[in-house]
Amino acid sequence: MMSVENEFDDKTLRERIAENPRPAMLWVAGLVVLMALELGSIAAAVLRVGSVVKFAIGGIANTPSWMAGFVSESLGSIGGTIAYGLTALALLVIAAIVVKWLFVPFSIVDRLGLELGVGKADVVERAIVTAVVGVVTLLFVATPLGAAVDAVIGALTQGLESISSLQTLTSRETIPNQGYQLPDGSWEGTWLGLSPAMAWGARVLLIYAYAFGLLAWFWRGYNVFRNHYREADWTPRDDSVNRFRNHYWGVFGFVVVFVFVVMALWAPALSPVTAEANLYSPYEHEVQYYDEEIEDVASIPHGEANLETRSVGGDSNVGLMSYDKYDRFHPAGTNQDGKDLFTFLAYGSQVSLVIGLLATGLMTLVATALALMTAYYKGLLDLLTVVVSDSIISLPRLLVVLLLSVVFMEANHPIATIYDGGLLLALIFAATGWPLLWRAVRGPALQVAEEEWVDAARSYGQSPVETMKKHMSPYIAGYMLVYASMTLGGVIIGVAALSFLGFGVQPPTPEWGRAVYEGRPYVPTSSWHTATIPGLMVVFLVTAFNALGDGIRDAIDPESDASGDEAGTSAAASGGGG
Amino acid sequence: MSQHMSESESEPRRDADRRVSSDQHGETLIEVDDLKTYYEGNDFFGGQPVKAVDGVNFEIARGETLGLVGESGCGKTTLGRTLIRLEEATDGEVRYDGTEVTSLSGSDLKQWRRNAQMVFQDPQSSLNDRMTIGEIVREPLDVHDWKTPRERREHVRDLLETVGLQKEHYYRYPHQFSGGQRQRIGIARALALEPEFVVLDEPVSALDVSVQAKVLNLLEDLQDEFGLTYLFIAHDLSVVRHICDRVAVMYLGNILEIGPTEELFENPANPYTHALLSAIPEPDPTVDRDRIILNGTPPSPRDPPSGCPFSTRCPAKIRPEEYADMDDDVWEAINLFRVLLDERARADLSIRDRVREFRGKNVRFDEITEVRSELFGDLDLSADVERHVDQAQEYVEAGEFDRAREYLAEEFDSICDREAPSLCTVGDAGRSSACHRHDDEYASPDEEL
């Protein structure tokens, strides 16, 4: 029955590429060029991620002693020591699971030739990995090895730092827009002597051209893979992609969301002034301008200049696309403090994006795991989850969010200090939002759990976890994507609403809702833009996220057009309510 | 008295029966002993379980095909699923090659699962649409860490050819295949681990007739090639006659008759088998046949009849001696009357009806006089029978259902209502059937029908 000679012998992707390298090489070459243009920013991004990881690891490494301190307060030092050991062990076990999952695709027990039952083998396998991880950790802590690794990382960091100082294509230094106008009308200090408005416009165009070019290049990469290297000539995903491309409402949503994401990622380069000068320390940065009284170039701190350029209605107003008296260009005017509104908005989109993605990501994670488990096991677990989620849903969400954020902020809890309360907000929104998501995918999850292929998987002994991963989660993922994208809009509105009430992200970190709140008194005056522009942006962005969700849903499930509409609107409604 | 006789006789007979079947088809592979599978009631507070499989005994010899037939909802699929441990047995034993299967767990269960696989009914639902054919068929091999990945892929490609597909189909998706082809993929997956025993759960009922024959032939070829043992669940009797060596007839969670296919089809012993076979359409319009049409629907498996499971609908139900020469129509009407009473007494009431009942209203049977005239209107009742029916009606009108039922039971109950019949040997080829009429005391079902 087995034929050793097989004409359809399998090739890995690498072998397939080696056979026909041209399209892949071309694509990679293009990507390298695009990346090289932005090498400095990439290095900076790696550094930032590295520092976050370092911070997180440091925090995790401190948990045993934190727990020990906690326990020894009530149970004495022996209890503290035991708590230290237990916490450390628990952390090691968790680390071992991750290590096994990521780096050890084979079974160590099998390699060692140990004869054990399947259940025991799993335990022994984990124990071995845990022991190895524990030994490695000890080596790091107790031997010079740790110091050596530290040195290597330090050297790497230094290298990256020097790279990150390289100028990139889209950085603000490439096309500077800050300058001053001489009496003869010419501009000093700007790019090619253009007016700051033109220079800024050119930079924005360049950034978006680059971003869309990158996107197009990745799309091209997908097509190259599809045409030259994929073994299946058709997959169900192809149809979904084609349907999405013809779904104009969805594509509109995607484009707006993409524009927003680019705005968040390139905020430092898109804004006409740096955040430091504009938002955080305006009195430590100076602006040069041509003073007509002394007929010479003079300089003044941004903070002082801002006092003269406030948009508070009446004569004191710097509107859209205009210059102030210090020759600073404001694409969206200034706000009531005289600061550049566009800079505020660009950096504010970062905050919205981080909080929105973090909260939605956590929610999605919890909701998916629960949906899979409750649909597979049903029974008591399902009942418990129903009770818990119904209890959470029955609470008025905005009030709970408000209450929790105030309690944590007033108590000065350490979590509330991270990202000026942004992390706290994300956690609160996730904790109060997962039941809605879970409810939304519970039906599909129960449905897919009844499919015969799930039974089939059980009949040949597939483990529950694998069954959920392979046979159930792909069918929920589509719904999850839809509802998550809609919820993301809800979270952004929620954060804005909280900031509007004065409880969200604290100044000076920019947040759209706070801009609406602070500009509110000037809506009927000539400075209407201070609240209207950020408000419109929130509306626009949330609409775009809902449109994207609609598009994804229709793309994934062509039959959901009629029936899915209701679910969509209700989810949008509930998302908007958050 | 007769009960003792029949039980004491049937026990040794059953053992003899086993030996006969083993001799014919080689050694026994699967032995099922008093197997019960109950589903717990949906009620929070317990309630009656659904007795999907209610004590069945049979065995399957290595290499044979046992057909399992019966109406929808008679528990045949549940029985098949219990045999391969997709459902938990409530009671009883399943022995596979001598190993007790129902109590296996953990790694032993996983290892055992290699031996027994299942082909599912619906080819649309049994394949995960998001995986390629190759991944689907390979998954059992991956689960059991079968040899090396490369050998697995080769094995899968060979399997695809074995079931009549092509090696190139490895990277296709289920969408790209017809129902018959999808069922072939399901068969390939079931065979991937080289099992000995395969449960075929109505494998062709969802397919076009033209495709059915091809898939059935494939199944027969595979059985010859790999020496497979099949449990073939079906409700299409002609398909069963075509493919099965032996057939078991199931009704309400019980096996009423089991035996070699041809003999069972030519000369059915059990009244239910008679009724079932008479439902096969006859292609020749000139042939005159008596179709046996059964009254009503099968009783709820939550609350099966106390005696023979088929007693509520049996056309050959044994009558008490004093009514032996009663008119057939009257006897039928009385039985219907009793079934109606039973059902009404058991029916779930709405809250409103419960309140009305609490206030003394006769909600369960307020139209008793109409029912009576409907059932007995044009019949000529003897004075005796008329008196009993009147008495029962009186009780019903007074709201005393249980008393009415008890009264009728006392008067009209026969052995069929009181005792469940056990399987006893009929014919020469190791066939057994569960019916009180196989006792010498009573006329056989053949004579009665």
- B171·A233 Cβ contact <8 A: yes
Q: What is the pLDDT of residues A520-540, one digit of tens each?
A: 889 899 899 999 999 999 899
Set of chain B residues whose Cβ sits within 8 Å of the Cβ of A451 = 125, 128
Q: Which residue of A has its CA nearest to B141?
A: A460
* DSSP-assigned beta bridge partners for residue B425: B432
In sign, the C-alpha dihedral spanning B116, B117, B118, B119 is negative
Give the number of other Cβ atoms within 10 Å of residue A158's Cβ: 10
**Given the structure tokens 């992390």, which residue do they identify?**
A423
pLDDT of amino acid A2: 40
B132 vs A4, A232, A459: nearest CB: A232
Distance CA B75, CA A228 (A): 52
Q: How confident is the model at residue B12 (pLDDT cuts 50, 70, 90)?
A: very low
Q: Which of A120-129, A173-182, B355-364 has the highest mean pLDDT?
A: A173-182
Average the pLDDT over B233-246 and give the result. 90
Q: Which tokens go with A41?
A: 């920013």
Tell me which of A54-63, A219-228, B351-360, B382-391 is least confident: B351-360
Per CATH, which fold does B2-277 belong to? Rossmann fold (3.40.50)
Q: Residue A165: CB partners within 8 Å, gap ≥ 6?
A: A40
Q: What is the pLDDT of residues A444-492, one digit of tens each?
A: 999 999 999 999 999 998 889 999 999 999 889 888 988 888 888 888 8
Average the pLDDT over B95-120 and give the result. 89
Q: Which residue of B has its CA nearest to A556?
A: B130
Average the pLDDT over A250-278 and give the result. 92
A459 vs B117, B129, B173: nearest CB: B117
**DSSP-H helix ranges across A188-247:** 196-224, 236-245
**pLDDT greater than 80 at residue A105:** no
pLDDT of amino acid A457: 93
**pLDDT greater than 80 at residue A575:** no
Q: Does A460 touch chain B (CB under 8 A)?
A: yes
Q: How confident is the model at residue A505 (pLDDT cuts 50, 70, 90)?
A: confident
Tell me which of A102-111, A189-198, B206-215, B346-355 is least confident: B346-355
Distance CA B100, CA B79 (A): 16
Average the pLDDT over A203-219 and give the result. 95
Average the pLDDT over B27-37 and give the result. 91
Q: Does A138 touch chain B (CB under 8 A)?
A: no
**pLDDT greater than 80 at residue B8:** no
Q: Which residue of B has its CA nearest to A9?
A: B154
Half-sphere exposure of A150 (CA within 13 A, CB side): 7
- A232·B171 Cβ contact <8 A: yes
Mutation site, A9, A460, A473, A475, interface B, largest B CB count within 10 A: A460
Average the pLDDT over B439-445 and give the result. 78
ipTM of the complex: 0.81
Q: What is the pLDDT of residues A136-178, one digit of tens each?
A: 888 888 888 888 888 898 999 999 888 888 888 888 888 888 8
Set of chain B residues whose Cβ sits within 8 Å of the Cβ of A462 = 139, 143
Residue B261's H or E segment, with its range, is helix B261-266
- B125·A452 Cβ contact <8 A: yes
Mean pLDDT (chain A, rounded): 85
Among candidates B435, B26, B447, B444, which has minimal Cα distance to B258? B435
- B122·A461 Cβ contact <8 A: no
A459 vs B113, B155, B167: nearest CB: B113
Among candidates B422, B225, B437, which has minimal Cα distance to B318? B437
pLDDT of amino acid A568: 39
pLDDT of amino acid A513: 84
Residue A508 preceded by cis peptide, ω within 30: yes
**Given the structure tokens 């309140």, which residue do they identify?**
B355
**pLDDT greater than 70 at residue B365:** no
- A461·B155 Cβ contact <8 A: no
Q: Which residue has the higher pLDDT, A575 or A162?
A: A162
Among candidates B205, B201, B170, B202, which has minimal Cα distance to B188? B170
Mutation site, B107, B119, B193, B202, interface A, largest A CB count within 10 A: B107
Q: How confident is the model at residue A352 (pLDDT cuts 50, 70, 90)?
A: confident
Q: Residue A28 phi/psi, 5° resolution?
A: -65, -40
Tell me which of A328-337, A511-520, B124-133, B379-388 is least confident: B379-388
**pLDDT greater than 70 at residue B9:** no
- B139·A460 Cβ contact <8 A: yes
Average the pLDDT over B218-246 and give the result. 91
Tell me which of A177-181, A377-381, B272-276, B367-371 is least confident: B367-371
pLDDT of amino acid B3: 42
Q: What is the pLDDT of residues A356-407, one digit of tens each?
A: 889 999 999 999 999 999 999 988 899 999 999 999 999 998 899 999 988 9
- A453·B126 Cβ contact <8 A: yes
pLDDT of amino acid A115: 65
Q: What is the pLDDT of residues B74-100, one digit of tens each?
A: 889 999 999 999 998 989 999 998 889
Half-sphere exposure of A14 (CA within 13 A, CB side): 0
Distance CA A460, CA A448 (A): 18
pLDDT cut 70: percent of chain B above it: 88
Q: Does B177 touch chain A (CB under 8 A)?
A: no
Distance from CA of A8 to the nearest CA of B (A): 8
Q: What is the pLDDT of residues B378-417, one digit of tens each?
A: 777 777 777 888 888 888 777 777 788 788 877 778 888 8
CB B247 within 8 A of CB B82: no
Q: How far is CA B323 from CA B318, B319, B334, B414, in A?
A: 10, 6, 12, 10
Distance CA A66, CA A80 (A): 10
CB A352 within 8 A of CB A493: no
Q: How confident is the model at residue B277 (pLDDT cuts 50, 70, 90)?
A: confident
pLDDT of amino acid B366: 65
Comma-separated ranges of CATH 3.40.50.300 domains in chain B: 2-277
Distance from CA of A232 to the nearest CA of B (A): 5
Among candidates B82, B87, B86, which has minimal Cα distance to B32? B82
Q: Does A474 touch chain B (CB under 8 A)?
A: yes
Q: Does B120 touch chain A (CB under 8 A)?
A: yes
pLDDT of amino acid A503: 82
A8 vs B130, B145, B157: nearest CB: B157
- B125·A236 Cβ contact <8 A: no
Q: How far is CA B211 from CA A215, A347, B124, B201, B275, in A?
A: 48, 65, 15, 17, 29
CB A439 within 8 A of CB A528: no
Set of chain A residues whose Cβ sits within 8 Å of the Cβ of B179 = none
Q: Which residue has the higher pLDDT, B293 or A194?
A: A194
pLDDT of amino acid B183: 93
Q: Does A294 touch chain B (CB under 8 A)?
A: no
CB B179 within 8 A of CB B207: yes
pLDDT cut 90: percent of chain B above it: 30
Q: Which of A240-254, A492-506, B304-318 has the highest mean pLDDT?
A: A240-254
The string of DSSP letters for A410-454 reads HTT-HHHHGGGGHHHHHHHHHHHHHHHHHHHHHHHHHHHHTSHHH
Set of chain B residues whose Cβ sits within 8 Å of the Cβ of A234 = 172-173, 176
Distance CA A471, CA A454 (A): 6
In sign, the C-alpha dihedral spanning A396, A398, A402, A408 is positive
Distance CA A1, CA B155 (A): 8
Tell me which of A532-536, A542-546, B108-112, B301-305 is least confident: B301-305
pLDDT of amino acid B67: 94
Distance from CA of B38 to the nearest CA of A (A): 17
Set of chain A residues whose Cβ sits within 8 Å of the Cβ of B231 = none
Set of chain A residues whose Cβ sits within 8 Å of the Cβ of B195 = none
A8 vs B84, B139, B170: nearest CB: B170
Residue B234's H or E segment, with its range, is none
Set of chain B residues whose Cβ sits within 8 Å of the Cβ of A1 = 155, 158, 162
**pLDDT greater than 50 at residue B71:** yes
CB B83 within 8 A of CB B30: yes
Q: Which tokens go with B207?
A: 């397919």
Set of chain B residues whose Cβ sits within 8 Å of the Cβ of A233 = 171
pLDDT of amino acid B200: 94
Set of chain A residues whose Cβ sits within 8 Å of the Cβ of B108 = 117
Q: How far is CA B258 from CA A555, B18, B304, B421, in A?
A: 53, 12, 21, 14
Chain B (143-172) residues lying within 8 Å, Cβ to Cβ, of chain A: 143-145, 150-151, 153-155, 157-158, 162, 167-168, 170-172
Q: If 0-12 CB within 10 Å is exposed, 13-18 middle and 19+ buried, where does residue B443 land?
A: exposed
Q: What is the pLDDT of residues B296-338, one digit of tens each?
A: 778 888 888 888 888 888 888 888 877 777 777 788 888 888 8
Distance CA B365, CA B388 (A): 18
Average the pLDDT over B414-435 and give the result. 83
- A452·B157 Cβ contact <8 A: no
pLDDT cut 70: percent of chain A above it: 93
Q: Does A2 touch chain B (CB under 8 A)?
A: yes
Q: Does A434 touch chain B (CB under 8 A)?
A: no
Distance from CA of A117 to the nearest CA of B (A): 6
Q: How many helices (H) and strands (E) does chain B have?
A: 17, 12
Tell me which of A36-50, A249-263, B142-156, B316-330 is least confident: B316-330
